[in-house]
Structure 1
Amino acid sequence: MTGSSSLPPGWYPAPELRGQLRWWDGNSWGDFRQPQTSPRGARGRPSLRPGAAVYNWAIWLVALMPLANVFLELVWKPTLSYRTLVSGSQQIRMLELNSVFTPVYFLMLVMGLLSYVLCLGFAYVDWKKLGSEGVVRPFNWAWAFLAPAVYVIGRSVVVRKVARPRGLAPVWAVIATAAIAVVVVGIKMAEMLPSGSNPIST
């Protein structure tokens, strides 16, 4: 492709054979070819060349970043205090909500915001990397504004279509992270609620 070194990597009509697509790496022709009429991915996306990198450090950070807050939840040890309410013939101990507002609690709030902002940046990097690997119209990184998991799922669906059977590993990482978070939150709730809600008969 003489004089076309400015073209981004991707599949282009092979100059030496009509009806064939050939991989252009941005500088020279690769050895990978496919028929121009071969089955294509969704909305005309061609399949990726063999060995194309569909995973990178950025997408793993998007998928696993919530684990940072899970770790903080594990070390969060609030000193709980209660107040007693009298209701008829019963005394009910109620948890004082301000007793959970420890420094670690506020650190979790800050870390949650920071991880969200970082995930936006990592999603953008991943989106650019997918484009450089030849993914046509990769799932737009801006979906991460809605939720990082939305971007992970959307990009994985697109990658799966053009690089089958690869592409879904980040989705499983998101599911595992969510499951761990649910377990940790459940444990924390179990530690806090029973002693604060038991009625005490008079």
Structure 2
Amino acid sequence: MHHLHPLLFLVLLAASPPVATAATFDCVGGVYKANNTYEANLRRLAAVLPAETAASKGLHASRGVGYWPNRPRASSQCYWGVSSSSCAACVAGAFREAERACPYGKKAVIFARNCTLSLADFPRPLGFGTISWFDLLGAGLVFQAIGFAWLFFLLLQEWRDKRRASMMRYSSLPSGDQ
């Protein structure tokens, strides 16, 4: 679980609006289609995260729901001095604000008076979606070359052992001079 750095927390606290009903937001990018798996997972996340945030010791939580590529994630933080019930209500409100301000947005940051919510989608697994058949073929050829080199080494070892054994046999034969 990632924790919010104390200095960043103070910056976020200073950036939060002073009016109780106002919230600032930033729609960072990425969109999803309506009525799909990503949206269903986002709704599951919105149902779970407020309670988890309010129940945590430091009033912060981070969670992802579902499997990639339909795996939204969210981090929430309530400010110091906020009750757990106010925290849960604030995070739930921040989810609603994100849906209103950034419709179908995968990435958003909401700064409410008592909390902060950050929404994102999980990035692609490393290299997934960017590997071409040529990349796979190249890696396969490298492994194949290593395999052939190993096989050649083993055959060379066997040939040397047989040659050595043959030489010892010929050198230990009695000669006719004796």
- TM bucket (normalised to shorter chain) is under 0.3
Q: TM-score, normalised by structure 2?
A: 0.25
Question: Which protein has the larger Cα radius of gyration, Structure 1 or Structure 2?
Answer: 2
Q: TM-score, normalised by structure 1?
A: 0.23
